[in-house]
Amino acid sequence: MTAHEKPTGTAVLPQPGHARNPGMPLDLDWVASARANSSAIARRAAQMPARRSLKGVHQAAWLARAVTLIDLTTLSGDDTPGRVRRLCAKARQPVRADLLEALGLPAITTGAVCVYHEMIAPAVEALKGSGIPVAAVSTGFPAGLSPFALRLKEIEASVAAGAEEIDIVISRRHVLTGNWQALYDETRAMRAACGAAHMKAILATGELGTLQNVARASLVAMMAGADFIKTSTGKESVNATLPVSLVMVRAIRAYRGTTGHKVGYKPAGGISKAKDALTYMALMKEELGDDWLRPDLFRFGASSLLGDIERQLEHHVTGAYSASWRHALG
């Protein structure tokens, strides 16, 4: 359905464990060869929700796993330290202890908390000792149109403030004009600015025009050293979709097959229902395998998703649906 495979060369077997993606020199021939069969992708994506057949205790277990994959997010202009502290408290205990006990599950946390730069300090303080990383959106989020030198400084400032993950946004104009060298050079420089912090490259797929552009941008971001590729800022008119996800995860699969390095995936924006989370998890399992059902390789960029998952888990335990307002984020 998609043709990301490098046309020449021998595939390298994956390394044991999960080493960080170091990137590679830009391979323009590989980028130019990437294709996306839109009709076949649409058919495959349409089949995914219908194939989800998890029921009962198996569904509850998958939903509990989904909680650990969430980047619990607040990216509003009216964010305050108090709101962020409440969100962090929810990240520490995302599901009520009585529900976990009834399900026979241990305590769990979310994968990360994602905030603007100004909210890093209260988030780091609130999460101290929890092992939950703080992710910060950066590089002129969401448009990515601030001066490039300032974008790099923003990354460095966020890392210095304690962010362990940086969600950068790529320059969409480089994709739309086919300037892959410029996209690679900028993304590579951002990766260097991140240092030890992991970098998630946001492609803003709703603004890239075609699935072929999504495929090529995915490859370039990974060649530049992205630890994750991410669909959206959540601010575009079209955010995460199954067709886009299929293109991106197959680019990840091709990149791993050629380089041996695993890259994570983060769909973001518009994923608010537990049933949707299950569909995305099934996609990851079928296309990439069980390793991509762990927070080091898969995240949901979401906020309201957690409330619906907790509501579904309560239904599994009690047999009744509670009101959504009983599952607030903070």
Structural domains in the chain, CATH included, are 2-327 (3.20.20.70)
The answer to whether the beta carbons of residues 301 and 234 sit under 8 Å apart is yes
Q: Which one from 6, 27, 90, 167 is the annotated catalytic residue?
A: 167
8-35 burial: b if 16+ Cβ within 10 Å, else e: eeeeeeeeeeeeebebeebbeebbebbe
Condensed to tens digits (0 to 9), the pLDDT of residues 268-279 reads 998 999 999 999
| 11: pLDDT strictly greater than 50 | no
Backbone phi and psi for residue 94, each to the nearest 5 degrees, phi listed first: -75, -25
At 55 the pLDDT is 73
Q: Which of 14, 10, 37, 23 is nearest to 215 (CA)?
A: 37
Helix or strand or coil: residue 83?
helix
Q: Which one from 27, 230, 276, 308 is the annotated catalytic residue?
A: 230
The answer to whether the beta carbons of residues 304 and 272 sit under 8 Å apart is yes
| 42: pLDDT strictly greater than 60 | yes
29 a catalytic residue: no
At 15 the pLDDT is 37
User: What separation in angstroms does the CA of 56 have from each of 47, 68, 114, 240?
Assistant: 22, 19, 31, 27
Condensed to tens digits (0 to 9), the pLDDT of residues 159-189 reads 999 999 999 999 999 999 999 999 999 999 9
| 52: pLDDT strictly greater than 80 | no
In whole angstroms, what is the distance from residue 134 CA to residue 112 CA? 6
| 7: pLDDT strictly greater than 70 | no
Percentage above 70 pLDDT, the chain:
91
| 14: pLDDT strictly greater than 50 | no
Percentage above 90 pLDDT, the chain:
84
At 329 the pLDDT is 60
230 a catalytic residue: yes
At 48 the pLDDT is 86
- Mean pLDDT calculated for residue range 290-300: 97
- Mean pLDDT calculated for residue range 299-316: 93
At 3 the pLDDT is 43
In whole angstroms, what is the distance from residue 79 CA to residue 84 CA? 7
At 328 the pLDDT is 61
Q: Which one from 227, 266, 276, 308 is the annotated catalytic residue?
A: 266
- The bridge status of strand 2-3 relative to strand 35-36 is antiparallel
* Mean of all residue pLDDT scores within the chain: 91
The answer to whether the beta carbons of residues 138 and 168 sit under 8 Å apart is yes
Rg (CA), the chain: 19
- The bridge status of strand 228-230 relative to strand 70-73 is unpaired
The answer to whether the beta carbons of residues 129 and 87 sit under 8 Å apart is no
| 257: pLDDT strictly greater than 60 | yes
Q: Which of 321, 276, 246 is nearest to 63 (CA)?
A: 276
In whole angstroms, what is the distance from residue 104 CA to residue 286 CA? 27
Helix or strand or coil: residue 135?
strand
- Mean pLDDT calculated for residue range 138-157: 97
The answer to whether the beta carbons of residues 205 and 214 sit under 8 Å apart is yes
- Length of the chain counted residue by residue: 330
- Mean pLDDT calculated for residue range 143-156: 97
